[in-house]
Amino acid sequence: MKSEIIKYIESQKSLHLYKNLQNAFIDVLSHLTQEQFEKIRNYLIIMAFHQGTVGQVMHFDARKSKFAVMQLYIPNNMPKDVMGWVVAHELGHVMQERNWKESDGINLEDDATKFAEKIGYPKTKKISDWLVAEKA
């Protein structure tokens, strides 16, 4: 699966300049089952915003069915464990296959955090504290 993961990450053009983020994705995706990974690969487009830009366009191959876009802003000072948790948590939202609605309250957030924990990325106090300090 490792080479399939690397191929998928290389296909995500907005990640090209961010080696740390590519490595975080490769780590997190390695914790998924083959079935979960295939869902991500077929469903998800990842958009990392380039620091200092106000807008950007990335070209991707056409998709035939429903898909999700993961938008990420990763500050330069984000620690490795926080980055891994953010990627794992957002993949939890991808697994939900729909957008938040008011009646969900924090349920979808808790669900995404549980998914991250289940694949090996628990939200530690250090991660919580960093996110609060950065108001992320």
Write the binding mask 58 to 97 for Zn ion: x where contact by CB under 5 A, - elsewhere.
Answer: ----------------------------------------
Residue 17 DSSP class: T
Number of Cβ within 10 Å of residue 103's Cβ equals 6
DSSP states of 76-95: TT--HHHHHHHHHHHHHHHH
Min CB(89)–Zn ion separation in Å:
6
116 is an interface residue for Zn ion by CB under 5 A: no
Which is closer to Zn ion, CB of 49 or CB of 60? 49
Instruction: Choose the stretch contacting Zn ion; rule: CB under 5 A; options: 25-33, 69-77, 80-88, 101-109.
Output: 101-109
Please tell me whether residue 112 binds Zn ion under the rule CB under 5 A: yes
Query: Of 26 and 131, which has the nearer Cβ to Zn ion?
Result: 131
DSSP secondary structure letters along 38-58: HHHHHHEEEEEPPTT-S----
Candidates 31-39, 42-50, 53-61, 108-116: pick the segment binding Zn ion (CB under 5 A). Answer: 108-116
The answer to whether 46 and 11 have CB atoms below 8 angstroms apart is no
Report how far residue 128's alpha carbon sits from residue 125's, in angstroms, rounded to the nearest whole number.
5
Q: Which residues bind Zn ion (CB under 5 A)?
A: 109, 112
